[in-house]
A and B are shown apart, each in its own frame.
Chain A
Amino acid sequence: MDLRFSEEDEQYRRQLRSWLDGHVMAQRGGGSLASGGGTDIMEAIQMARDWQRTMWEAGYVGLSWPKEHGGQDASLTQQVIVAQELARASVPMLINTIGLSILGPTLIQHGTDSQRARFLPKILSAEELWCQGFSEPEAGSDLANLKTRAVLDGGDLVVTGHKIWTSLAPIADWCFMLVRTDPSAPKRQGISYLLCDMRSPGVKVMPLRNAGGGIHFSEVLFDEVRIPSENVVGELNGGWAITRSTLEHERSGLSGVLSLEQSLSKLRATASDMRRDGRPVVQDQATGRELAQRWIEVEGLRYLGYRTLSAQLAGRQPGPSTSVGKLFASRVRQRISRTALEIEGPLAQVTKRSPHVVDRGRWQAVYFDSIGHSIGGGTAEMMRNAIAERILGLPRTGEG
């Protein structure tokens, strides 16, 4: 057993780190890259696009994509290193992550040559931002229940329906979506995968405000939107099978561990600074135990991540065991924010821009955000189903 990366990898890390140091400092001088922009949202989006372009030009975007498609063909360890260093530098996520991680691999594996030539370069450069039109009001965890229809009319597909929980919809240029093209087929067999220009007539975006007060996702209505049939990815009615297309990419979750570690460090600092009844809260035994337990959980995730990476490097697919990491990571995120609010004690109810507020109200924001983590991108229950069925081999549950 050995947790060290190769000297070549460490060299790669050093190069990236020094590159990041230079760029992050430059960006921070002129604006606020790390905080995700100032007050002007359009300015912030442009800044995020510019940042991805800068990263792309330096060779740090499209890491898992093959070189022939504009990617880096980066090794798994290099992918881990980039994710770790970006988390360490607290730079924002790449704005086109949805396009990079979901659509890109799908087009590379199932797109036509002209689709790849048309779309891939602009995903990498963030010239075109993508959103994902999968979920619907009646198709959440049960995605195959989607109802949005597309009817062939001449050379076009005419799409009518209702998508929801669509991140980035107000700023996206394009949407990759699942629609029902054969209502008479069994529900997973009549689905097609389409690429829709968000500026097409009949597309209407309605931002949704989330429980924490932020705007992260939207509803998108499609009213007889015409999409040329050349924008079907894969076979007509063959969309379901390609929805889970991925390229071999690192799944360790180690960059997420780093951000949890940063969060926990901030919380320790808060608990050391805060005094209750004259003593630092961190010295209270119950608080110390809770913080210790959070530390145990983060370390557990770290070493789980190393196991996942190690299995991948040995050529084994981590498969359903990544569900274990994702499920537990969302749980740890929630526990850290709950512990934070417990540490705040009576001040847990005081919000930002108020006298006596703790850490400018960050823990309440983290708290709401963490609650969303066990819903979005596959609920905790769906992950438990996956673990039960695919790791334990228990009979399928809950499907009629």
Chain B
Amino acid sequence: MDFELSEEHLALRESARALIAQRWDRDKSRLALDRPPARMPDSLWKEIASLGWIGVAGTEELGGSGGDLMAALVLAEEAGRGLLPGPFLPALAAGIALDRSAADDQRAELLGHLFAGDRVLVGAYDEPGGTWGPGSLHTTVTPTHTGLVVDGVKILVPDADRASAFVLSGRAGDSTVLAVVPSEATGVEVIPMNRFDGQSMAEVRFASVEVKGSTLIGPGRTPGGGQPADDAYDISTLVCAADLLGVSEAALAMATGYAKDRVQFGHPIGSYQAISHRLADLVVDTELGRSLLFGACLAMAEARDEAPRLVSAAKAWMSDTAIGATETALHVHGGIGFTWELDVHLYLRRARSGAASFGDANFHRDRIATLLAARDPSRSGPELT
């Protein structure tokens, strides 16, 4: 029985928090709102690659750091806390997804370069008119004798302007698959989109894009025995939930600090229950979120049956919590909270963006409803574990 962060996790968290606070100037997140997108400087990208962050959970023989999935979520949380922009989290998620599902030769070819920071891979999953998940896929991936051909339109693709390749989901006949498509391939067009929090995002069109070689992943090779696309979606979702946890805790910390300092009617406003109880409720929400995140992480790492619904639980909960925490934090700051100069709206923007990404809270509640209905006993009574 051990359900806490290890010494290694805690050390990683501490060093990540310090480094991000030192290297990423939040003013750049603010400036990016007028001149998008927010860009991580190449020097910082190289630095985090050299620290082993991109491959933090990656296989060591392929240049990864050999950590577990929790280590990746620790970094995702710190990225959220420090408002660190992409392509770190998209690349982190893409790397984990490929490490879990791709064939050995594919992993050998792709992951070393990704972990070293030489290439940037990002997931391209969403499509116009969809919500989230393979249900809304129209992109086709057609195998040919030399490779494959991709046709379709992806939207909300993170850091497409920096990507050397896309890990995209698509339909191959009746199956859902992943395919790795270089961004310089003929027929790939990147059209920038503006994200609410200033991070990089684009529509990416794939017009009869021919890809040589074996870049098809799936069907059916994940640790849980499911489809690689489903697994990749769940990994992205989980990384986003961790990002939102960091955002929520940062907002709560800002609001708590302000409530201790700001004096009105002769007392710090944090001594008034109208304020302190809202903040106490945020402690409850973030602690529950952390618990769900740990539960989902362990279930994914162990490829247990309940992993998909626990991932959805973590994301649904963190989507609601991040919005609640950042809105409350802004409110607790009063007038100053409503100014452009204060960082709190940056957190609110990141919360809103993340909450809408990779399936919003209602999407994941509906998914849980479907998954629970599938395991309802045939009326013979509840099954307990």
Contact = CB atoms under 8 A, between A and B. Distances in A.
Given A295-B368, A299-B310, A387-B283, A306 B3 contact: yes
B291 A303 contact: yes
B161 to A, nearest CB: 36
A381 B277 contact: yes
B291 to A, nearest CB: 4
B271 A303 contact: no
Interface string B1-29: 11110000000000000000000000000
B283 A296 contact: no
A389 B259 CA distance: 12
B292 A289 contact: no
Contacts of B366: 285, 288-289, 292
7 contacts: A88-B384, A292-B368, A295-B313, A300-B288, A307-B294, A309-B1, A387-B283
B379 interface: yes
A323 to B, nearest CB: 9
Given A289-B366, A392-B283, A300 B292 contact: yes
B287 interface: yes
Given A303-B292, A381-B273, A296 B313 contact: yes
A163 B317 CA distance: 42
**Interface residues of A: mostly helix, strand, loop or mixed?**
helix
Nearest to A266: B382
Interface residues of A, number: 60
Contacts of B68: 1
B373 interface: yes
Interface string B307-338: 00110010011000000000000000000000
A39 interface: no
B216 interface: no
A296 B376 CA distance: 16
Interface string A284-320: 0100110111011101111110110111011000000
Given A289-B366, A391-B283, 4 more contacts: A1-B297, A291-B369, A304-B287, A310-B2
A388 to B, nearest CB: 4
Interface of A: 1-6, 77, 88, 258, 261-262, 265-266, 268-269, 272-273, 282-283, 285, 288-289, 291-293, 295-297, 299-304, 306-307, 309-311, 313-314, 321, 324, 327-328, 381, 383-385, 387-389, 391-398
Contact of A265 (B70, B259, B294, B384): B384
A384 B310 CA distance: 27
Contacts of B365: 288-289, 292-293, 296
Interface string B41-62: 0000000000000000000000
Ranked nearest first, the 8 interchain pairs of A and B with the lowest CB-CB distance are: A265-B382, A288-B369, A303-B291, A303-B295, A388-B276, A292-B368, A384-B280, A394-B270
B277 A324 contact: no
A1 B70 contact: yes
A3 B3 contact: yes
A283 B288 CA distance: 27
Contacts of A4: 1
B66 to A, nearest CB: 16
A311 B373 CA distance: 34
B362 interface: yes
Interface residues of B, number: 52
B279 interface: yes
Nearest to A84: B384
B256 interface: yes
A201 B330 CA distance: 61
Contacts of A301: 288, 291
B376 A268 contact: yes
User: Which residue, B1, B2, B68, B366, has most C-beta atoms of chain A within 10 A?
Assistant: B1
A310 B68 CA distance: 19
Nearest to A383: B280
A375 to B, nearest CB: 16
Contact of A3 (B1, B276, B288, B291): B1
Nearest to B316: A296
Contacts of B288: 297, 300-301, 304, 324, 328
A295 B317 CA distance: 11
A385 B310 CA distance: 31
B225 to A, nearest CB: 21
B272 interface: yes
Contacts of B301: 1
A37 to B, nearest CB: 24
B281 interface: yes
Contacts of A394: 256, 259-260, 268, 270-271, 276, 279
Contacts of A289: 362, 365-366, 369
A142 to B, nearest CB: 14
B181 to A, nearest CB: 35
Contact of A310 (B1, B70, B295): B1
B284 interface: yes
A303 B3 contact: yes
Contacts of A391: 280, 283
Nearest to A387: B280
A2 B1 contact: yes
Contacts of A261: 382, 384
A373 to B, nearest CB: 15
A311 B1 CA distance: 10
Nearest to A314: B4
Contacts of B309: 295
B2 A2 contact: yes
Contact of A392 (B279, B372, B376, B384): B279
A252 to B, nearest CB: 10
B267 interface: yes
Nearest to A321: B287
B280 A388 contact: yes
B310 A282 contact: no
A306 to B, nearest CB: 4
Nearest to B383: A265
Contact of B291 (A77, A293, A304, A393): A304
Contacts of B317: 296, 300
Contacts of B292: 296, 299-300, 303
Contacts of A302: 291, 295
Contact of B283 (A1, A303, A324, A385): A324
Given A265-B384, A384-B277, A396 B271 contact: yes
B4 A307 contact: yes
A299 B295 contact: yes
